[in-house]
Amino acid sequence: MNIQDIQAILSGIIHPEKNKDIISLGMVDKISVNDEKIQFTLNFQKAKDPFINSLKKASEFAIRNKYPEFKGDIVILITEAAPKKVEKPEQTTTTGGIKNIIAISSGKGGVGKSTVTSNLAVAFAEKGLKTAILDADIYGPSIPKMFGLESYKPLAERTEGRREVILPAETNGIKIMSIGFFIDPEDALVWRGAMATNALRQLIHQTEWGEIDVLLIDMPPGTGDIHLTIVHELKLTGAVIVTTPQEIALADVVRGIKMFQSEGIGVPVLGIAENMSWFTPAELPDNKYYIFGRNGGKDLAEKAGLQLLAQIPLVQSVSENSDNGTPESSVYTAALADSIISRL
Ligand code: ADP
């Protein structure tokens, strides 16, 4: 447990009157963590704020609930002073050195969005591009497992005169930050949702990405709060929609496309990546079985006036490699990378 963990937990505590969490409100200060004691200060702007006690209790409860094994003291000091200013995202963002930010999205889960994201990142890196992934899929953050990074604990660093930054993992020449590094998959979804939006905002603005050519964002399936957070906090270059040939009839896919294209959001949809297009058994390399139907993604692209960026077959080694933490590019994901590059 470290300062970031405590910040992530406290970013789920909402001040009822201000309707914002206590981290975003700049109320939390001087966090220290060790085996015996967790201590921090809660700054209240208003003397005799009626929520002092309930927020203090809620903070302690949230920490104990998250870390039942911690038996030490939780000391919450209260001060009544103007909260320090929360820096504006434009001033704090760490994404200034990133040339292209691409959201990888899908209508629903299980179509291979994360697998395509990982393999695509490998393809970009193999082309010599400085590549990064931000895994924002709060419902199933699978990028850490796909790169064998389940035990990675992101470190925070504060250099003199600078604010605190969080260091991404780096493997296969790809920088990786995942919401999965911060949330416990066993936490209740409703709790996770509240924490995740704030934690994600922090990841977006505090991750030390450095110079990056392409940042891929593994989005949660469907449309929701996380999508809005991402499109508001980051300037996306475009979105890629992953679908299987079978999903085309699903309203969710169309809704996803419309969300990016809507007036308030205005993120260009670069095209459709059709995954699981056919199955080729290793022993019959020339055979193609269209088990989820044929050309569904292509038809969808035509109907929506979008480009079909690539068709990626169902291959046993693809799923084995992502289970083993060794994602690999193939001619298909390399083709997808080329199609995307040509549209940037
Ligand atoms: P999502 O991110 O859309 O929920 P995943 O990327 O987790 O989906 O993929 C779901 C499952 O399908 C995983 O077990 C993955 O290994 C497998 N999978 C995805 N794409 C392929 C593919 N092209 N070939 C073989 N297996 C695949």
For 37, other C-beta atoms within 10 Å of its C-beta total 12
- Give per-residue pLDDT as tens, 130-141: 999 999 998 888
Residue 216 CA to residue 340 CA, distance in Å, equals: 11
pLDDT at residue number 144: 95
Residue from 288, 289, 315, 322 whose mutation best tests the ligand 1 pocket (most atoms within 8 A of CB): 322
CA–centroid distance, 110 to ligand 1, in Å, is 6
Residues with Cβ < 8 Å from 120, sequence gap 6 or more? 104, 216, 329, 333, 336, 337, 340
CA–centroid distance, 197 to ligand 1, in Å, is 25
Cβ-count burial 275-286 (b if 16+ within 10 Å, e if not) = bbbbbeeeeeee
Nearest ligand 1 atom to the CA of 312 is 23
Residue from 319, 330, 332 whose mutation best tests the ligand 1 pocket (most atoms within 8 A of CB): 319
3-state secondary structure the chain: CCHHHHHHHHCCCEECCCCEECCCCCCEEEEEECCCEEEEEEEECCCCCCCHHHHHHHHHHHHHHHCCCCCCEEEEEEEECCCCCCCCHHHHCCCCCEEEEEEEEECCCCCCHHHHHHHHHHHHHHCCCCEEEEECCCCCCCHHHHCCCCCCCCCEEECCCCCEEECCEEECCEEEEEHHHCCCCCCCHHHHHHHHHHHHHHHHHHECCCCEEEEEEECCCCCCHHHHHHHHHCCCCEEEEEECCCHHHCHHHHHHHHHHHCCCCCCCEEEEEEEEEEECCCCCCCCCECCCCCCHHHHHHHHHCCCEEEEEEECHHHHHHHHHCCCCCCHHHHHHHHHHHHCC
CA–centroid distance, 139 to ligand 1, in Å, is 15
Tens-digit pLDDT profile for the chain (344 aa)?
A: 889 899 999 999 988 888 888 998 889 999 999 999 999 999 988 777 888 988 999 999 999 999 999 999 999 999 886 545 544 444 345 677 899 999 999 998 999 999 999 999 999 999 999 999 999 998 888 999 999 999 898 888 876 666 788 999 999 999 999 988 887 767 656 666 667 777 888 888 889 999 999 999 999 998 888 898 899 889 999 999 999 998 766 788 899 999 999 988 899 999 999 999 999 888 888 899 999 999 888 999 998 999 999 999 999 889 898 888 999 999 999 999 999 999 98
Indicate if ligand 1 lies below 6 Å from the C-beta of 243: no
pLDDT at residue number 92: 47
pLDDT at residue number 160: 65
Indicate if ligand 1 lies below 6 Å from the C-beta of 110: yes
pLDDT at residue number 191: 60
Residue 126 CA to residue 233 CA, distance in Å, equals: 29
Indicate if ligand 1 lies below 6 Å from the C-beta of 120: no
* Ligand 1, atom 19: closest residue by C-alpha: 112
CA–centroid distance, 62 to ligand 1, in Å, is 34
CA–centroid distance, 308 to ligand 1, in Å, is 19
Nearest ligand 1 atom to the CA of 322 is 16
